[in-house]
A and B are shown apart, each in its own frame.
Chain A
């Protein structure tokens, strides 16, 4: 257990529905990251926050995806109008903003879009 928690751990939804995932980072970590991982591939960067500010977004993050970190603590990732291609593991990680600081990953939320 790294101290990063994610909920839910699993989500099954129908195509076209909206889903929201939550990530609770390690409490003193001011950086928070979202990644997506499909079967057989490594995690792919989606976006990252420094406190409540979203500082970078990958091209993978289409307009249907939105992430927030309203008070600089937990974060949510919402996918609107889900598509079957959104099926993946969504991973959250956190770190301290002290330069050479590793990222600590949560267990992930596995999404299946039917």
Chain B
């Protein structure tokens, strides 16, 4: 499984766009990039997944450059309820276990 590197923490204010970048220099050809969100005392929750270029859903966007050695999770107009830990995971489509790392703790301030 490819190792990922994320910032330990980030601060933002309500209404701002937040971009969290994840480095995965050793990503393999058949690896996908998946982001999870976790609130205190809850299990992680799937946010978005992609392979290349850009993926967008109702919650976030995922930007993946051509070399795929990094990816950026973009959260538009964050609110206080977006305060959570965000994990970037990399692995093949049939992988049966996730390596979460320590994630990025996002703190949204009023």
Contacts and interface: CB of A to CB of B under 8 A. Distances in A.
Interface of A: 2, 4, 31, 33, 35, 40-45, 48, 50, 55-56, 58, 89, 91-93, 99-100, 102-108, 110
B34 interface: yes
Nearest to A100: B93
A4 to B, nearest CB: 7
Interface of B: 32, 34, 41-46, 49, 85, 87, 93-94, 96-103
Contacts of A35: 98
A17 B83 CA distance: 37
Contacts of B103: 42
Contact of A41 (B49, B93, B94, B102): B102
Contacts of B34: 102
A58 B98 CA distance: 12
Closest CB pairs A-B (n = 5): A42-B100, A105-B43, A45-B97, A100-B93, A102-B46
17 contacts: A2-B43, A2-B45, A40-B102, A43-B98, A45-B99, A48-B96, A89-B41, A91-B43, A92-B43, A99-B93, A99-B94, A100-B93, A103-B98, A104-B46, A107-B41, A108-B43, A110-B41
A104 B46 CA distance: 7
A106 B93 contact: no
